[in-house]
């Protein structure tokens, strides 16, 4: 039997491609699985090869054995970003969607205990890196009239001081990236969504000063629920744009 990743059929050539950062865990992994279920080919980016392999395996075991391409990269490194983009284009020749789910935070979230090197790292991963990935993918997105989903935070929609100095600043900045894309790239058909999920039960919670217990996690959004919202945006008709989408659990105040 032919390897489904190497078959060059017309159906394969026209199937949409989504590039997902932070694809090794949490909402990024869930977004990859949801996109594959919807018939998209998925390119998986993150720094941890083993985690990406697990996501790819989850994708490839779905009905129809969807295609998954692992492109290990550090999204704070321009050469890594460009190499990842080039591998995707060499493999599939297109990028129709971009889901920016890589994120970082720290338990040290107050001005009184702020660690400035950590501040720089958080802003680099959460804000600077998405801008660089978008810039790298933009020519392909213009050609495809594609969609960008910035996986941001409820804290970027409704200020929450416990989210942290660096995290709040960086995630709020994603709103400006999304709005400028929509204002300046509308003629090319590129659309962007600032997606603001509330509390989500992922490993990211381990970075809170007080880690939630099992009961609190059970009341939160689950990654697959956020992934369905992401796919809703990706699958929108070409003339439809969701500028901002807020999704939260009813338990969140």
Name the residues annotated as catalytic.
167
User: How far lies 125's CA from each of 8, 82, 203, in Å?
Assistant: 35, 16, 17
For residue 38, count CB atoms less than 10 angstroms from its CB and return exposed for 0-12, middle for 13-18, buried for 19 or more. middle
In this structure, what is the dihedral angle of CA atoms 154, 177, 69, 146, given to the nearest 10 degrees?
110
* Bridge partners, residue 69, by sequence: 43
Location of structure tokens 């790292």: 121
The position carrying tokens 């590039």 is 19
- Specify the long-range contacts of residues 207-210, CB closer than 8 Å, at least 24 apart: 207/105, 207/106, 207/107, 208/107, 209/107, 209/109, 209/162
Residue 197 dihedral angles phi and psi, to the nearest 5°? -80, 145
Burial track 195-232 (b if 16+ CB lie within 10 A, e otherwise) = bbbbbbbbeebebeeeeeeeeeeeebbebebbbebbbb
From residue 43, how far is each of 1, 118, 167, 200, 251 by CA, in Å? 23, 28, 26, 23, 34
């Amino acid at each position: 039997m032919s390897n489904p990743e190497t078959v060059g059929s017309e159906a394969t050539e026209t199937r949409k491609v989504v590039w997902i950062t932070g694809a090794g865990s949490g909402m990024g992994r869930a977004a990859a699985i949801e996109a594959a279920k919807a018939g998209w080919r998925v390119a998986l980016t993150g720094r941890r090869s083993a985690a990406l392999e697990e996501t790819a395996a989850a994708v490839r075991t779905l009905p129809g054995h969807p295609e998954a391409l692992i492109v290990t990269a550090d999204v704070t490194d321009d050469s890594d970003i460009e190499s990842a983009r080039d591998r995707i284009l060499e493999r599939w020749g297109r990028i129709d969607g971009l889901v920016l789910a890589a994120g970082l935070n720290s338990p040290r979230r107050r001005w009184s205990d702020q660690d400035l090197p950590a501040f720089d790292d958080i802003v680099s991963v959460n804000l600077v890196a998405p801008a660089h990935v978008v810039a790298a993918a933009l020519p392909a997105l213009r050609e495809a009239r594609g969609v960008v989903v910035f996986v941001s935070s409820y804290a970027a929609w409704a200020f929450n001081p416990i989210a942290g100095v660096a995290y709040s600043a960086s995630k709020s900045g994603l709103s400006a990236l999304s709005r400028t894309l929509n204002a300046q790239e509308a003629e090319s058909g590129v659309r962007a969504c600032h997606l603001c999920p509330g509390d989500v039960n992922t490993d990211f919670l381990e970075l809170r000063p007080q880690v939630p217990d099992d009961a609190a996690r059970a009341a939160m959004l689950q990654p697959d629920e956020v992934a369905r919202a992401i796919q809703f945006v990706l699958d929108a008709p070409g003339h439809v744009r969701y500028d901002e989408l807020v999704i939260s659990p009813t338990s969140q105040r």
